[in-house]
Each structure stands twice: as C-alpha cells, then as structure tokens.
Structure 1
Amino acid sequence: MTLKVLLAEDDAALRATLRDALALEGYEVLTAASVSEGLALLAHAEPDLLLLDLGLPDGDGSALLAALRRRRNAPALVISARQADGLKIALLDAGADDYLTKPFGIGELLARMRVALRHRGTAMAASITNYVHGDLEIDLPNHRVLLRGAPVHLTPTEYKLLARLVRQAGQVVTHRQLLVDVWGAEYIGHTHYLRLYMGQLRAKLEAEPAEPQHLLTEPGIGYRLAEPQD
C-alpha cells in the first residue's frame, strides 16, 4: 500500500530534499509551497499524513492543520524553526501528532512519521538501506554501490532509480510509481525513460545484462530488485 503524504514547505531546497527522501521510502508525495496550495490539495487529494511548516508566504501553516482535522483523522507533523514551548503545546493541543524543530535529520523525521502512522493503526516498516545480493552491495546511507568489491559510478538518475528499488527490495515497484518517484508525476507516460535507465543500470551491474540476476522485470507491471541475502 502506497501512502500519500502532503508536504507543505515554502523553502524550495528543503521541499525538494524531503520530497526525494520520502519518495525513496515509498511514499507518494504531494507538495505545496503555500497555505492556499495546501488547502486545495487537502480538499481533493485526501493525504494519509500531513507535514507542515508554519511560516508559509500567504499565512500560517496551522490553518492546514485545522483544515485537516475538519476533514479526516490523518496524522499531522509540524516541522518548523519556531521553538517556543507555548506554540508547540498549542499546536499539539490543536491536533498535531508531533512537532519537529528545524534543523532535523531525515532518519528522525521518518521514524516519527512511522510512529504517528502506527498510532493511527497503519504500520510502516523501516525501508531497506543496506542491500547485498551475490556480488552486488548497496549502502544508501553512504551513497555507495560496490560490484565484486569495486565501486561503481552511477549517474544521479541511475542512483535514484536504484535506490528506489533498494528501499523495497524483493517487492515489485510499478512503472507508474518509479516514474513518479524518480522523475515526477508529469512523466507518468514516459515508460521509455525506465527502459533506457534500467538498461544502463543492468549494463553496469549485471554480469549478463540480457539475463539479469539483480534487476528483474515483472512484465507489464514494473521492476523488482532481487530478494536481499541475510
């Protein structure tokens, strides 16, 4: 099950960083840079979790929390540089599940999201970040790919595609999900991108690219990274 996250954050660099990190975790990510954009998405998208900054250009992000609570019981996490205890207490009393002060680590954010979802009855296991299968080793935290012990150079897009598969190693990831998470929602119809980059990855990581052992095709559905070894 793919969970939908609405991320309301006006800092473009942070928004992109969080969007990419969440997408690699398997979330479908919707982004808003303002209260008005966030309200429009809340009205139509029905997110499973809300991440919101407070200092948005057209108003306070707390308006999104209030709107969410009027519509559904999805968890909401505030991510803000504001540190006043009174503000934190007020937002938690208003229905926020957690309050994370900037700057914060991605790992901590993901863990707090899993806790908030678990409290709503949705269990989310931590994604795979270290992968070993035969002669292939992938270490996502350190951005390292080794084949027979030697480092493999991947382009940013190749690495992003591989990392997305690692996060759900052993499971099929659909063409649509890969296109959305790696390239963006506007590329849903561009399946030739997947074929091209999967071919490039296989050329670099497979002993016999025509008979892959690591990067497997699920015909008509998507791709799957072989089950990791214990």
Structure 2
Amino acid sequence: MQETGTVTPLRARLGTRLGQLDGAYRASMEAAIAHLRRSGMATRAKLAGDRAPDFALPDPDGAIVSLAERLQAGPVVLSFFRGEWCSFCRIEMDALIAALPDLAAAGASLVMVSPQGSSETLLARSRGVPGLTVLKDPMNGVGLQYGLIFRMPDILREALLALGVDLSHVYGTDAWLLPIPATYLIRRDGTIALAHTDPDFTRRLDPQDILAALRALTG
C-alpha cells in the first residue's frame, strides 16, 4: 500500500484515508490490486524517457486544449484524475493544487485529464485555479494512448456497488474502464522526465518529487 519514508502532507493524508477504509472493502481492493500487478498491465504504460503522446481535449467550457500547445509555454505536469468518487484522487488533486504556486514559479502548468464528465463538484474544485486545466476524456482515448486503461476486476466492482458507487452512472457506460493512477512531468520537447504509474491507487506521486525533478530540468 503506502510508501515508507519521509511523511509529507500528501502521504499523511493518503495514509489517514487508507486507515479509514472498511475492512471488507480494503480486502477487496488489495485483491484487485494484486490481480492487476499479476496482469503486468502497468508495464505497458508510458514511462520516463518515452515520448508523451500528444492529444487535444475539451475543457469544461468546450474549448479544445492540446498538450503540444501547453508545452510551448513550458513543462507540463499531466495527471490522470479518475473521478470525484475516488477519495484518493481528490487528495492528490488537493496536493497538486496546493503545489501550483511552486510549479508555476518553476515554469510549469498542471493539466488533469479525467474520464468523468463535468460534475458540479469537480467544476467547483477546479474553476478559477490559476495554472490548472481540467480536460474531459470520456472515452478514455488519452488514457489508452498512455497505456493506463484497465477493466475493474469484478471483486472490486462488487465492493464498490455494495457501497453505492456505480461507475456506469459516473462514466455513462457499463464498461467499467478507467485509468490506473498516473502522473507525468513532461519536458517542453515532449519527452517524459518523470513518471508515476501504479495499479495501487493509494500510492501517488508527491508534489515534492515533481518539484525536485522540475527544478533539475530548469536549472
């Protein structure tokens, strides 16, 4: 589950949330994570040194935003946000937003891609945040380009349904496809400088690690 080492604000919040999970749900989650690790699907994801696939997606107002366009202004932190239903995703989003002033000072912008539609809660969390762009990827096309998409194992699907979380309603499809948590730091030339991809959705790339890598890029 959670990484050991320095306890940062993000890791502390993730650890607290993990400890709050219902025992039965946590057991189902751990079984699903083990299944995904055995499948080797994470090895197909884009990694550091790879070229980041370009894409163009709509923002909540319908304007089309491309990765190439954003890279013209500087490095991009690209994070895949599974949806408001995922408490670990919300915690990571909060941490990235808190780090935005430091990211911006180092010349970077933050782009978050989500298969979830423009929910009121997601809009409320993201609107008016300088340096943040949230883009809609309803068919997981960009997630597929980055090698991140998987079908949720039945054991975890059943556990979520028991908690009243039906992703067929969240995403508007009964496929139950979603991205593994992934965050990238992409250089201006389009190559990936830092990558975090992990089927264990309780583990996230800490903003402190992103900032350290970003500062190394920019000198």
Give me the TM-score of the superposition, normalised by structure 2: 0.28
Higher normalized strand content (fraction of residues): 1
Give me the TM-score of the superposition, normalised by structure 1: 0.27
Q: Which has the larger radius of gyration?
A: 1
Report 1 or 2 for greater relative contact order, CA contacts < 8 Å, sequence distance ≥ 6: 2
